[in-house]
Chains A and B, each alone.
Chain A
Amino acid sequence: MTVEAMVPRMTEICGPGGVVSDPAELRTYECDGLTSHRAAPALVVLPETAEQVAAVVTECARAGVPFVARGSGTGLSGGALPRTDGVLIVTSRMRRIIAIDPVSQRAIVEPGVTNLAVSTAARPYGYFYAPDPSSQVICSVGGNVAENSGGAHCLKNGFTVHHVTGLQVVTPAGELTWLGDGTGNAPGYDLVGAFTGSEGTLGIVTKIVVKLTRIPQVITTLLAGFHSTGAGGTAVSAIIGAGILPAAIEMMDALAIEAAEAAVACNYPAGAGAVLVVELDGPEADVRRDVAAVRALCQEAGATEIRAADDPAERAAIWAGRKSAFAAVGRISSAYIVQDGVVPRTALGEVLDKIAALSSESGIRVANVFHAGDGNLHPLVLYDDAVPGEEEAAEKLSGAILDLCIQHGGSITGEHGVGSDKAKYMPKMFSAEDLDTMQLLRCAFDPAGLCNPGKIFPTPRLCGEVPGPRRDVHPAVKAGLAEQF
């Protein structure tokens, strides 16, 4: 069945306002936050209930049509990149906060609810939702589940996977089912944990039970200026070495500071080669002690200036520079690539030196903004898209940074996901057996390979294939989703 032929049935399921088939309108869905990858979907549906999602997926499964789920479309790895021959299922109309249970420290939400809305709803009870990706104002919890989103504060509080205890999902066969029971200790395999971070390849989440975290007694944010990222890195190591676990430790280098100043006049220490933002939260006495210790350690590491803020407005002023950094880089460069790699924290200094060397060799500027506490680098590779060859050079440099991360025992992605963007790097990090074993999970959930195909894995595994003579063409090959090799 062609996708066009599905329109009447999809309209029956989602209503006339819930189906988009006009080519011009379809184009608005052609990319997520990674705008370098584009593909307009054949059809977009905007279901409002879990049952509608199940009905849509059932139709796709029956017709052998691939489908891709999308939340707010803020992902940075092309995880929600549509299929030109498939249906894009947008969950942004499913935005009810169904229940807040403060005593159980749980909330039940629909996938289109924004990350920040959960915290806003929980605040009157003294709770918040801990994972805080920088897009939290707009990004959806469903997308967070797909990507196992982190954020600046996951150093202490963990990622989405540590805060999800139950998922209602539509399986790739169209069945509506619950994974987990919300307790976090349901009997059987931890399918909630396995599903979280699977980038939309195992099914579509339609309800989420999240953990709520008690709002800390006090929060103090420190800003420290250093001559160099090396000195800043020394301070980070000293803080961790002292047994202090801050809520967040963020670093920006001179170029990132320059961009932030240009954009939001954040008034960071003048002439600093690096700034550290260290946030400490918890009971008052403990935070007081830790703040004193962090101040001393920063001074020892050569801090040129240290500021501290307790009240929300002053803390927000410190964070303004950091939070604006990605967008601010647009002020000093016409185009840039946001990279996302991870190295062991102790290798930060060495890797930053190597990135600087790569940058000067290639003449491509790199601004560094990173979650220093957990070694998650976000190098911003700046280039001029009007200059022929610069984009390619920037991409090459960006790839070389990932190679550095792998060489130092790190990862090709800390929080943005593999998606369409980094599937080609997966074999550098994992063996064929590793990737094959991961895809067994895919085969258990989606043997037909229709659910967000082409993401994460460079080569799809043909499910159910056993060694020996081939008996028939695999359905995925028949559907053009995989190549026999």
Chain B
Amino acid sequence: MTTTSIPGALAKACRTVRPAGPRDAVAGVVPNWVAAPSGTDEASALLAMAAEHDLAVVPRGSGTRIGWGAPPRRCDLIIDTGRLNQIVEHAAGDLVVRVQAGVTLGQLAGVLATAGQQLALDPPPGLPSGPNGTAAGVAASPAAGAMAGAAGGAAGGAAGGAAAGSPTIGGMLATGTAGPRRLRYGTPRDLVIGITVVRPPGTVAKSGGKVVKNVAGYDLGKLYAGSYGTLGLITEAVFRLHPVPAAVVFVTAGYADTAAASQAVAAAAGTDLAPVAVEIDRPGRDGLVRVGVLLEGDPAGVAERAALLRDVLGAGTAASDGPPPWWGAAQPARLVTGPHGPAEPTVLRISFWAAALPGVLAAIDTAGQEAGLDPAVNGSAAAGVLYAVLDGDADPAAAATFVTRLRDGLDRASLDRALPDRGAGQELAGGEGPPSRASAVVLTAPAAVRGTVDMWGPVPSLSLMRAVKEQFDPGYLMAPGRFAGGL
């Protein structure tokens, strides 16, 4: 086969194909072509063609997180989901929606809001989210929106219909991203109830369906959620929906140190006031540590609960029906374009058992001091997820030191903490729990930093994951090398 035959074959498989340009680069790797299939059938033809010609494929939505993950080992073809932009069915009475992968969160939110419903995933702050934006806990800052729009523009280019800047359903699902309300609603894997995928060599497969309760067959939606495009292309998904709450209240407080803030987080999460999110924000090592709690529900009810919560959080609290400006701020889609300056920051997602929060914050401090860096920290503290953000101009060697030291510190912070026994007063050493109880993944970083760090770090049960990859994509055609463990 010759290279010249490939454009012809691509054109035969898909009506919308163009040569790729520098702006289509995936973590620095420039592909040859961009194809935008109009449906699952064209996507299938494209993957058949890619398998035949041994083309490596990277799926792309609106591109807000295309920089996430390691650079692909190779990338010949981008499959842009911009034309898969149909909301196929919104069954309002069943609280489910079936959408094509290229539908944006903003587009979907607008449609769902007309029925008083929502897909309970927080879009990154400042991005268009539709009429229920405020209820979704979104800071509608015009400045942030403009920056995000610029990012979307950089990602566009195919005959895509994706609204610039708003992440697509497929992208959210493939990267497994969720915002502050993950505490109550979970992540995309918790909300997806059906999925249609195309895997090499063009096989179309679905699992689940359009009913929330369904245990027929393996749940491939779980496997594809967070798989970074390495198992195939998601073309369609069905989600369970939630009613938009009648009222929301954000209760915020500031603390002098991380120990006090950690106590406040645990206290808020431990109440029976039904917090939907418990967030923490610390712009720098010596700054104030802020804690925010989101309550949803009946207007009188949330007001009553907010008052009780203010007692729990101590002096100096405030309540508001809109989010504080830092709410969900570390979700990297915004940071890519950045409040931290023109350079792309390094963003880590740190996951841990929530009780280890004080130790995790201390580990971040220690690693920062050892590396000579002062990361900003923000995230869903009660759900055990924090983001640490290093400025784009941070020295790559220092950033690498930070990542390494942080991972060591996290291991100590999470494993040294004895797991309480079942109330007998004894403490188990925790040796019977998972051997690792925390992780730090570098979601995105400048090119110079990417070269110096292991972006994914250690991965539990990697050999099983490799076996899964080799069954679903034996030729390593799908986003090769982007994922954990080099998959």
Q: Which residue of A lies closest to B227 (CB)?
A: A189
Q: Cβ of A181: which chain B residues have Cβ within 8 Å of it?
A: 351, 434, 436-439, 460
Q: Do A289 and B300 touch across chains, with their CB atoms under 8 A apart?
A: yes
Would A244 and B243 be within 8 Å (CB), given that A103-B354, A411-B214 are in contact?
yes
The answer to whether B8 has its CB under 8 Å from any CB of chain A is no
Which A267-308 residues sit within 8 Å CB-CB of chain B?
A: 282-286, 288-290
Q: Cβ of B197: which chain A residues have Cβ within 8 Å of it?
A: 437
Would A99 and B428 be within 8 Å (CB), given that A198-B218, A345-B93 are in contact?
yes
Q: Cβ of B181: which chain A residues have Cβ within 8 Å of it?
A: none
Q: Cβ of A162: which chain B residues have Cβ within 8 Å of it?
A: 186, 190
Q: Cβ of B437: which chain A residues have Cβ within 8 Å of it?
A: 181-183
Q: Cβ of B301: which chain A residues have Cβ within 8 Å of it?
A: 283-286, 288-289
Measured CA separation A422–B217 after assembly (Å): 10
Q: Do A148 and B355 touch across chains, with their CB atoms under 8 A apart?
A: no
Q: Do B467 and A188 touch across chains, with their CB atoms under 8 A apart?
A: no
Measured CA separation A290–B32 after assembly (Å): 57
Q: Cβ of B468: which chain A residues have Cβ within 8 Å of it?
A: 189, 191, 194, 440-441, 444
Measured CA separation A41–B203 after assembly (Å): 38
Q: Cβ of B366: which chain A residues have Cβ within 8 Å of it?
A: none
CB distance from B145 to the nearest CB of A (A): 28
Q: Per-residue CB proximity of A425-451 to B under 8 Å, as 1/0? A: 010011101111110111111000000
The answer to whether A215 has its CB under 8 Å from any CB of chain B is yes
Q: Do A444 and B470 touch across chains, with their CB atoms under 8 A apart?
A: yes
Interface window among A172-180, A327-335, A388-396: A172-180
The answer to whether A104 has its CB under 8 Å from any CB of chain B is yes
Q: Do B384 and A418 touch across chains, with their CB atoms under 8 A apart?
A: no
Q: Do B464 and A171 touch across chains, with their CB atoms under 8 A apart?
A: yes
Measured CA separation A197–B207 after assembly (Å): 13
Q: Cβ of B441: which chain A residues have Cβ within 8 Å of it?
A: 187
Would A104 and B353 be within 8 Å (CB), given that A410-B211, A456-B217 are in contact?
yes
Q: Cβ of B222: which chain A residues have Cβ within 8 Å of it?
A: 161, 190, 193-194, 196
The answer to whether A29 has its CB under 8 Å from any CB of chain B is no
Q: Per-residue CB proximity of A31-43 to B under 8 Å, as 1/0? A: 0000000000000
Q: Do A101 and B94 touch across chains, with their CB atoms under 8 A apart?
A: no
Measured CA separation A165–B487 after assembly (Å): 22
Measured CA separation A440–B207 after assembly (Å): 13
Q: Do A186 and B439 touch across chains, with their CB atoms under 8 A apart?
A: yes
Q: Do B419 and A413 touch across chains, with their CB atoms under 8 A apart?
A: no
A186's contact among B91, B214, B271, B351, by CB below 8 Å, is which? B351
CB distance from B472 to the nearest CB of A (A): 5
The answer to whether A70 has its CB under 8 Å from any CB of chain B is no
Would A283 and B305 be within 8 Å (CB), given that A168-B434, A414-B214 are in contact?
yes
Q: Cβ of B433: which chain A residues have Cβ within 8 Å of it?
A: 98-99, 108, 166, 182, 207, 209
Q: Per-residue CB proximity of A194-210 to B under 8 Å, as 1/0? A: 10111000000001010
Which B251-272 residues sit within 8 Å CB-CB of chain A?
A: 266, 269-272
Q: Do A179 and B421 touch across chains, with their CB atoms under 8 A apart?
A: no
Q: Which residue of A lies closest to B297 (CB)?
A: A286
Q: Per-residue CB proximity of A226-240 to B under 8 Å, as 1/0? A: 000000000001001
Q: Cβ of B457: which chain A residues have Cβ within 8 Å of it?
A: 187
Q: Per-residue CB proximity of B188-227 to A under 8 Å, as 1/0? A: 0110000001010001111101111111111110110111
Q: Cβ of A430: which chain B residues have Cβ within 8 Å of it?
A: 206-207, 216-217
The answer to whether A342 has its CB under 8 Å from any CB of chain B is yes
Q: Do A374 and B436 touch across chains, with their CB atoms under 8 A apart?
A: no
Q: Do B226 and A100 touch across chains, with their CB atoms under 8 A apart?
A: no
Q: Cβ of B487: which chain A residues have Cβ within 8 Å of it?
A: 188
Measured CA separation A218–B430 after assembly (Å): 34
Q: Do B186 and A237 touch across chains, with their CB atoms under 8 A apart?
A: no
Q: Which of B207, B464, B485 has the most CB of A within 10 A?
A: B464
Q: Which of B117, B187, B243, B468 has the most CB of A within 10 A?
A: B468
CB distance from B221 to the nearest CB of A (A): 8
Q: Do A190 and B434 touch across chains, with their CB atoms under 8 A apart?
A: no
Q: Which residue of B lies closest to A122 (CB)?
A: B422
B216's contact among A194, A196, A411, A431, by CB below 8 Å, is which? A411
Q: Do B204 and A99 touch across chains, with their CB atoms under 8 A apart?
A: no
CB distance from A128 to the nearest CB of B (A): 12
Q: Cβ of B92: which chain A residues have Cβ within 8 Å of it?
A: 241
The answer to whether B95 has its CB under 8 Å from any CB of chain A is yes
Would A108 and B211 be within 8 Å (CB), given that A344-B94, A436-B205 are in contact?
no
Measured CA separation A101–B352 after assembly (Å): 13
The answer to whether B13 has its CB under 8 Å from any CB of chain A is no
Q: Please, how many residues of chain B have a CB less than 8 angstroms from a CB on the other chain?
A: 98
Q: Do A126 and B272 touch across chains, with their CB atoms under 8 A apart?
A: yes
Would A177 and B213 be within 8 Å (CB), given that A217-B272, A444-B470 are in contact?
no
Would A434 and B206 be within 8 Å (CB), given that A180-B460, A289-B298 are in contact?
yes
Measured CA separation A414–B216 after assembly (Å): 7
Total CB contacts across the A-B interface at under 8 A: 321
The answer to whether A64 has its CB under 8 Å from any CB of chain B is no
Measured CA separation A434–B205 after assembly (Å): 4
CB distance from A248 to the nearest CB of B (A): 12
The answer to whether A97 has its CB under 8 Å from any CB of chain B is yes
Q: Per-residue CB proximity of A128-170 to B under 8 Å, as 1/0? A: 0000000000000000000110100010001101100010100
Q: Do A193 and B223 touch across chains, with their CB atoms under 8 A apart?
A: yes
CB distance from B245 to the nearest CB of A (A): 8
Q: Do A179 and B484 touch across chains, with their CB atoms under 8 A apart?
A: no
Q: Per-residue CB proximity of B421-446 to A under 8 Å, as 1/0? A: 11100001010111111110100000
The answer to whether A343 has its CB under 8 Å from any CB of chain B is yes
Q: Do B94 and A179 touch across chains, with their CB atoms under 8 A apart?
A: no
Would A346 and B217 be within 8 Å (CB), given that A101-B353, A243-B244, A410-B209 are in contact?
no
Measured CA separation A462–B117 after assembly (Å): 44
Q: Do B209 and A409 touch across chains, with their CB atoms under 8 A apart?
A: yes
CB distance from B214 to the nearest CB of A (A): 4
Q: Do A375 and B353 touch across chains, with their CB atoms under 8 A apart?
A: no
CB distance from B366 to the nearest CB of A (A): 21
The answer to whether B448 has its CB under 8 Å from any CB of chain A is no
Q: Which residue of A lies closest to B430 (CB)?
A: A99
Measured CA separation A344–B269 after assembly (Å): 34
The answer to whether B150 has its CB under 8 Å from any CB of chain A is no
Q: Do A197 and B215 touch across chains, with their CB atoms under 8 A apart?
A: yes
A445's contact among B266, B423, B464, by CB below 8 Å, is which? B464
CB distance from B123 to the nearest CB of A (A): 19
Q: Do B225 and A193 touch across chains, with their CB atoms under 8 A apart?
A: yes
The answer to whether B274 has its CB under 8 Å from any CB of chain A is yes
Would A191 and B272 be within 8 Å (CB), given that A209-B434, A438-B207 are in contact?
no
Q: Cβ of B462: which chain A residues have Cβ within 8 Å of it?
A: 188
Q: Cβ of B189: which chain A residues have Cβ within 8 Å of it?
A: 190, 193
Q: Do A441 and B217 touch across chains, with their CB atoms under 8 A apart?
A: no
Q: Which residue of B lies closest to A293 (CB)?
A: B298
Q: Do B432 and A104 touch across chains, with their CB atoms under 8 A apart?
A: no
Q: Cβ of A185: which chain B residues have Cβ within 8 Å of it?
A: 176, 187, 349, 351, 384-385, 439
Q: Cβ of A344: which chain B residues have Cβ within 8 Å of it?
A: 91, 93-94, 96, 210-211
Q: Cβ of B430: which chain A residues have Cβ within 8 Å of it?
A: 99
The answer to whether B9 has its CB under 8 Å from any CB of chain A is no
CB distance from B434 to the nearest CB of A (A): 5
Which 5 residue pairs of A and B lie closest in terms of their CB atoms, listed nearest first? A193-B222, A285-B301, A243-B243, A437-B205, A103-B355
What are 22 A-B pairs at a CB distance below 8 A?
Answer: A99-B420, A99-B428, A108-B419, A124-B423, A158-B186, A168-B434, A179-B464, A182-B353, A185-B176, A187-B456, A188-B456, A188-B459, A190-B225, A243-B117, A289-B300, A344-B96, A413-B214, A437-B197, A437-B199, A438-B205, A440-B472, A441-B471
The interface of chain A, by Cβ under 8 A from chain B, is 97-106, 108, 121, 124-126, 147-148, 150, 154, 158-159, 161-162, 166, 168, 171, 177-191, 193-194, 196-198, 207, 209, 214-217, 237, 240-241, 243-245, 282-286, 288-290, 342-346, 371, 374-376, 409-418, 422, 426, 429-431, 433-438, 440-445, 456, 463
Q: A104-B356, A182-B437, A183-B437 are in contact. List 7 more A-B contacts (CB 8 A).
A: A105-B354, A121-B422, A150-B213, A161-B222, A162-B190, A190-B176, A413-B216
